[in-house]
Structure 1
Amino acid sequence: MKLLLVEDDQTTLAYLSKGLREQGYTADEAGNGVDALHLATTGQYDLIVLDRMLPQLDGLAVLSALRAGGNRTPVIILSALSHVDERIRGLKAGGDDYLTKPFSFAELQLRIDNLLQRATHREARITQLCADDLEMDLVGHRVTRAGDDIALQPKEFQLLRYLLEHRGQVVSRTLLFEAVWDYHFDPKTNVIDVHIAKLRRKLEAGGRSQLIDTVRGAGYVIR
């Protein structure tokens, strides 16, 4: 499981990072809101631990931007602001949990584990993915647009599934390559572009609207 740890106090950040790595997690770190938003929107994380008060960009502003962009990654807010109104603000902004400082590491770990278990159970129940008039049946391994069947090759199906699972998020070529081919990305290869082009031709056949957008220098996204 990969986490994003966002905390401007370097002592606290080092403490959290060390403790969570000892529990088997991998973690990226950010010390301000701008870096946090960049990492959260360009990387893939199973959970984000987000400090409430950050330099450059407030934690709630980071959270609101993520949710507005369709990012549904579970978020635990850490904050010295313990008043009930502040907790409500954090949860309304899209937080999944709110833990006030000071806190015990054992409690944070338990909350992380609980949120990850819930997220896993939600994912396990998903049998269909949709965007516009496109539907993907994960059980029947079938893709349709406006009710018409679209025959996809296995890699095309996996590419489309990954993009739909991360709908609203710009997914880089590196992430697609590692997720679908399970290799480290070689910047000299154009295999992603070739498969995306084939996938687009099939999805847009008959004058259908474009579903997969290219974000220059960043990757691909289904809005």
Structure 2
Amino acid sequence: MAKILHIDDDIELGDMLCQYLQGEGFEAEHCPSPVEGLKKLEAGSYNLVILDVMMPEQSGLDTLKAIRAKMNIPVIMLTAKGDNIDRIIGLELGSDDYVPKPCMPREIVARVRAVLRRISEPANPNQSLELGPLVVNPGKRKVILDGQDIDLTSAEFNLLTLLVRQAGQVVSKETLSEEGLGKKLERFDRSVDVHLSNIRNKLGLSGESPSALVLHTIRGKGYQLSLV
């Protein structure tokens, strides 16, 4: 049974959402304090975090930054409806998905299931994908570049795996969003772009760093990962 921690200062929403998650077969716990939530994450064994952006004690974005400094647990952000800035910053900091408030518990459960499904191990956990100096192991969810381990969030890992599987081919943003992020691409949605920008930075594919790999942006079509 997947264990979920919901960090949100809204106690009424937290209690309601946890009851709904429990009714859907999850083990769910609500914590109204981000500081206490971080302590719980360090002490407990959770599979996913639902994190509100707007909290008085410490913002959700600062809390996400603290989480990412220590662990790669999947994080779904709850953002104010229409607040694209928070969403983009959250994605840049490593959130796996976001849900705008107000929202229906059913939608959150669907997003939770989608994220957990994407990080589940495939049938053959030892089969690795290789592209030049890059090695991706889907089962162990491990990425190695030039012999060095690369830490990616679950969303980044899923997108990179799709690109490696189709190396040399253009993969559309629609495909990346639906198969990598588990949601249909909506108009003006920059989630894929932000995640791939993070991947570029972590793999050293941007700036002056030399690399045998290149991640092309094919305007109007999608992205292509290939060897130089």
> Where on the TM-score scale, by shorter chain, does this alignment land: which range?
0.5 to 0.7
Q: Does the 8 Å CA contact 1:77/1:99 hold for their aligned counterparts?
A: yes
* Structure 2: gaps spanning 5 or more residues: 129-138, 140-228
- Give 1:125 deviation, angstroms: 3.3
Identify the residue that residue 60 of structure 2 maps to in structure 1: 59
% same residue: 33
Q: Does the 8 Å CA contact 1:49/1:78 hold for their aligned counterparts?
A: yes
Q: How does 1:171-190 map to 2 (within 5 A)?
A: none
Identify the residue that residue 120 of structure 2 maps to in structure 1: 120
- Give 1:75 deviation, angstroms: 0.5
**Matched residues in 1 for 2:74 and 2:87: separation?**
16
Q: Which of the pair is proportionally richer in helix?
A: 1
**Matched residues in 1 for 2:20 and 2:47: separation?**
17
Q: How does 1:58-97 map to 2 (within 5 A)?
A: 58-69=59-70, 71-80=71-80, 82-97=82-97
Identify the residue that residue 98 of structure 1 maps to in structure 2: 98
* Structure 1: gaps spanning 5 or more residues: 129-138, 140-223
Specify whether residues 49 and 123 from structure 1 end up closer, same or farther in structure 2 by C-alpha distance, changes over 3 A only: farther
- Give 1:84 deviation, angstroms: 2.0
Q: Does the 8 Å CA contact 1:32/1:55 hold for their aligned counterparts?
A: no
Q: Give the 3-state SS of the residue equivalent to 1:95 in structure 2.
A: coil
Q: Does the 8 Å CA contact 2:47/2:74 hold for their aligned counterparts?
A: yes
- Give 1:121 deviation, angstroms: 3.2
- Give 1:126 deviation, angstroms: 5.7
Q: How does 1:1-223 map to 2 (within 5 A)?
A: 1-69=2-70, 71-80=71-80, 82-121=82-121, 125=125
Cα deviations by residue, 1:155-179 (Å, 9 ceiling, x for unpaired): xxxxxxxxxxxxxxxxxxxxxxxxx
Q: Which has the larger radius of gyration?
A: 1
**Matched residues in 2 for 1:121 and 1:111: separation?**
18
- Give 1:83 deviation, angstroms: 2.5
**Matched residues in 2 for 1:81 and 1:18: separation?**
23
For these two proteins, the number of residue pairs brought into alignment is 129
Q: Give the 3-state SS of the residue equivalent to 1:61 in structure 2.
A: helix
Instruction: Using structure 2 for the length normalisation, give the TM-score.
Output: 0.52
Q: Which runs of 4+ in 1 moved over 3 A?
A: 121-128
- Give 1:41 deviation, angstroms: 1.6
Cα deviations by residue, 1:112-145 (Å, 9 ceiling, x for unpaired): 00000011137963679xxxxxxxxxx9xxxxxx
RMSD: 2.4
Instruction: Using structure 1 for the length normalisation, give the TM-score.
Output: 0.53
